[in-house]
Amino acid sequence: MADNDVPPLDAGLNDLARRLHSRELTATGLATALLDRIAERSGAPTFDGAPGAINAWAHLDADTTRRQAAAADRRLASGAESPLCGIPIALKDLFAVAGLPLTASSRVLEGNVADADSAVWTALSGAGAVYAGHTHTHEFAAGGTTDQVGNPWHLAHSAGGSSGGWAAAVAAGMAPVALGTDTAGSVRIPAALCGVSAFKPTFGRVSMDGTIPLAQTLDHAGPIARTLADCAVVLQALSAAPAARDPWGVFGRPAIPAPERLALSGLRIATTARADRPEVDADVHDGYLRMREVLRSLGAEIVELPAPDDLPAADYDTILLAEARSHHARYRDRADRYRPSVRAFIAPGAAPLPVDAYLRAQARRRAVTAAWDAWFRAHRIDALLEPTSAITAPLRGHGYDAGERAGGTDPLAVFTATWNVTGFPVAALPAGLGTRSGLPVGVSLIGAPDTDAHLLAVGIALQESAPPPQFVWNGAAADPAAAPERNDP
């Protein structure tokens, strides 16, 4: 099938940009196709979702989408150069867009409307991107299942979290690209569970201004798309977003450049015993081994090395909870509106964690980060390869129940949380479908700090030889009676 025969929303961002700039496609036509597909595949947004629905979207505003698409067409007609001009982008329900609802998928913020744009939307809209809608998050990003969203590959399973809605939207062809946040793996985990690609940049390379936080020293923002090549386009614009504040002295660096084409021959790719943890699912481990062999076949040198010690889960949880509870203290009078597991985890209005415990945890975090940084430099590592999530998509339905796990002991986050601790960049990409489960599995490439463009180049080169699985819509309606047993390609 020729590229021009591919339905627009099944094409990648780079191909869409080419079609828009050549005027083979209009932004208005693309927006219309997007709204029609959302209606067909996701249905009207609901708070709780339904067993037979994807329900990726928290808020839609068709008038805004159409108005911005028309403006993009005018820019394209006048010679706009940005590859994002006219591209619909979905936003996790944490990023502010002035005049539109911003609720973190929570009744705590029901009726809240943003009064100003977030830094990331300022950058994206300035490049001509079109608002596609806000996607569901696990409530306040405080968990890994986003149970109100169904995984397009099998609606009985979770899309992952906390950015579950955006991963489901991209996987099901309802948006070419989306933007989410990542505090313990919330960009990478749903990408792995839904068979798409994502990138978590080095800490501080994307401004979090105007974003509802979970834990301010662990939060990152990053893109998700079908391929890493598409993520790279978005990341350039995101990393140029201005920051109004700079509490840790990490902003103000140049935007992350476009990755150069790279041959993997001679690169040093590390593996460690972390990948052999007992909780790693057999399908996940098979995918990891498969991608390791692809790297080897492309000429990369695979080196097995002992890993530095990780930050104890208790220290990670201390940092996350201290920061999250500080933010959520403002909602103590609305505690009854949280979902049960989130209310127990966040504990709005609870006594603050002791400052000395928080500072000790941060000191140990700095030591862990320094050890990993030295490890990358001493061994001349281009990237570390490991599974993204230890498990495939779990069944949905109980993620918000009281007593559900969250934080550093969650098997979804046993690999990913390390790289929020260190702030190192991570490229997450699909590793195929599990032979046992039929569900997507994924791997991550981790780089030393500020090697974002090089890491993207490594991931793009790998993905050219190991492309993502192709999701095929089976025509099921978005209602509880239509849940398929499995949606295999």
Options 162, 197, 207, 239, the catalytic residue:
162
Dist. CA 86–CA 65, nearest whole Å: 10
**Catalytic residue status for 92:** yes
Cα 413-92-463 angle, rounded to 5 deg:
60
In the DSSP assignment, the letter for residue 472 is -
Residue 349 CB neighbours (<10 A) = 14
Options 82, 186, 207, 341, the catalytic residue:
186
Rg of the Cα atoms in the chain: 21
Residue 482 CB neighbours (<10 A) = 15
- Please answer whether residues 213 and 219 qualify as being in contact, where contact means their C-beta atoms are separated by less than 8 angstroms: yes
DSSP H/E element including 346: helix 340-346
**DSSP string of 28-72?**
HHHHHHHHHHHHHHT-S--SS--TT----EEE--HHHHHHHHHHH
Non-local (6+) Cβ contacts of 137 within 8 A are 58, 92, 93, 94, 104, 105, 146, 161, 162, 163, 164, 165, 180, 181, 186
- Please answer whether residues 469 and 489 qualify as being in contact, where contact means their C-beta atoms are separated by less than 8 angstroms: yes
> Whose CA is closest to 408, among 338, 345, 344?
345
- Please answer whether residues 428 and 462 qualify as being in contact, where contact means their C-beta atoms are separated by less than 8 angstroms: no
Options 42, 92, 207, 239, the catalytic residue:
92
Question: Which pairing describes strands 57-59 and 130-135: parallel, antiparallel, or unpaired?
Answer: antiparallel
Looking at residue 387, its amino acid is P
- Please answer whether residues 450 and 424 qualify as being in contact, where contact means their C-beta atoms are separated by less than 8 angstroms: no
- Please answer whether residues 51 and 155 qualify as being in contact, where contact means their C-beta atoms are separated by less than 8 angstroms: yes
Cα 284 off chain centre by: 19
The dihedral built from the CA positions of residue 359, 360, 364 and 365, taken in this order, carries a sign that is negative
| Backbone angles phi and psi of 160, in degrees to 5 | 85, 180
- Please answer whether residues 330 and 346 qualify as being in contact, where contact means their C-beta atoms are separated by less than 8 angstroms: no
Q: How deeply is 384 buried, as exposed, middle or buried, from its count of CB atoms within 10 A (0-12, 13-18, 19+)?
A: buried
Helix, strand, or coil (residue 286): helix
Helix, strand, or coil (residue 223): strand
Question: Which pairing describes strands 197-200 and 220-225: parallel, antiparallel, or unpaired?
Answer: antiparallel
Non-local (6+) Cβ contacts of 359 within 8 A are none
Active-site residue list: 92, 162, 186
